[in-house]
Amino acid sequence: MTSLAEENYLKAIYKIQEKHGDVVTTSALAETLAINAASVTDFIKKMAVKKLISYEKSKGVRLSEQGRQIALSIIRKHRLWEVWLVNNLGFKWDEVHEIAEQLEHVISDELIEQLDKHLGYPKTDPHGDLIPDAKGRFIKNTSKPLSECSKGEKVKFTGVAEHSNAFLQYLTKSNIKLGDELLVEGIEEFDKSFQVKINNKERKILSKEVVKNLLVIAL
């Protein structure tokens, strides 16, 4: 059985690998977990002995297949609990992360499978992040940042690349929500801001920082 700390490490390693490649440096892991590098090194050496990861001093850390499956299980539980908190308890999408961080360490597989069934087997969480199935498989992700779209493209807003409360609250205040249809009406050459029409109604100017963090699919 893995400890809570080991699960947090495995999840962090998986997410860094997802963004930056197969090998994770101890400094990147220390920054993500907000733990000093020396403590991280000591801990991952112990995890390597348990074959949860592989570690080379001059290179970094990789998840073993066992470690990867545990990380995906934690991510699955986290995202299912976020769906439950939003759909069943009325939490907002910027309020669920810290609560789900606690609930993700529930051990019972039976409980999680019943939760999945109760929720109707959702494929994405309230932020549009894909939920792996019980075997760690995801549906194909075809989304891209809005910033990669061209003038005249019509797309659907399906997720966010930035999960901070500040960004989620900004989108809420701007009345931009998952499922909205966005038409790129113009792109400002100077600052790369986008003029978009939302659901064929309201027009908004979105900054370069915003459009790079909105994930969309083509319509």
pLDDT 10s digits, 56-68: 988 899 999 999 9
Asked if residue 204 and residue 149 are part of one domain, the reply reads yes
Percent of the chain with pLDDT over 70: 100
Asked if residue 148 and residue 214 are part of one domain, the reply reads yes
- What value does the mean pLDDT take over residues 20-44? 94
Asked if residue 214 and residue 149 are part of one domain, the reply reads yes
Percent of the chain with pLDDT over 90: 96
Range of the domain at 89: 71-140
Hunting for tokens 């309230």 — which residue is that? Answer: 126
Query: End of a domain among 100, 124, 140?
Result: 140
Beta-carbon contacts of 157 under 8 Å, excluding residues fewer than 6 positions away, are: 146, 176, 177, 178, 179, 180, 181, 182, 214, 215, 216
Query: End of a domain among 112, 140, 168?
Result: 140
Asked if residue 48 and residue 24 are part of one domain, the reply reads yes
- Alpha-carbon distance of 193 to 151, in angstroms, equals 12
Q: How confident is the model at residue 21 (pLDDT cuts 50, 70, 90)?
A: confident
Asked if residue 157 and residue 201 are part of one domain, the reply reads yes
Q: What is the CATH number of the domain that holds 93?
A: 1.10.10.10
SS3 annotation, 152-188: CCEEEEEEECCCCHHHHHHHHHCCCCCCCEEEEEEEC
Asked if residue 157 and residue 129 are part of one domain, the reply reads no
- Alpha-carbon distance of 14 to 154, in angstroms, equals 32
- Number of structural domains (the chain) is 3
pLDDT 10s digits, 160-200: 999 999 999 999 999 999 999 999 999 999 999 999 999 99
Q: What is the pTM of this model?
A: 0.93
- What value does the mean pLDDT take over residues 144-164? 97
